[in-house]
Structure 1
Amino acid sequence: MKIDFRKIKVKDYDDKEMCLDISKEVGDSFLRHTSDYGEFDYGHEIFHHGLVEVNAQNAKAIKCYMEQEHFLALIKKAVFPLLDEIINPKNKEDKK
């Protein structure tokens, strides 16, 4: 699944929707916390491009680093369900 971290839709208490660019912050979180070359490069891609393909391994890393960076609940509430869907995809048969 692709996620564009430049266009994350969040809602405030009045259900007013806003679009936030968190690509720099998410990319920076990889820079500050990873010791893995692959993750470092992935963070660089998020930082510079925003739109990235996210697999289960990357989704787990993004969640971990967002927790370590103390992203606001408003942002985590918008991003974590997307990541959880990638980590634990629902079987299409379950939806029937």
Structure 2
Amino acid sequence: MQPSLSPGSPRPQRPPTPETDYPELLTSYPEEDYSPVGSYSEPSPTSPAAAPPGWSCHISADRQMRYTNHFTQEQWVRLEDQHGKPYFYKP
């Protein structure tokens, strides 16, 4: 009697890999799977679309970006440090 393979038993061989078992797929891959380095850009700081869900953004009279939470009405101001990295503070 031969042993039967149950779903939890180890397989006698390795699973297939695209490179060895499906070589035709290699030719159908796009030349570049990911965006080129440096192609990502942050949303424009003047764009209200940059606000996360549940928040709204507006530019104050003194040209500061103010974010307001829709639920708590809490406000935060967005500024950038000398290296251009954004940070937030409560006014």
TM-score band, normalised by shorter chain:
under 0.3
Give the TM-score taking structure 1 as reference length.
0.18
> Counting strand residues as a fraction of each chain, which structure ranks higher?
2
TM-score by length of 2: 0.19
Q: Whose helix proportion is higher, 1 or 2?
A: 1
Larger radius of gyration: 2
Relative contact order higher in (CA < 8 Å, ≥ 6 apart): 1
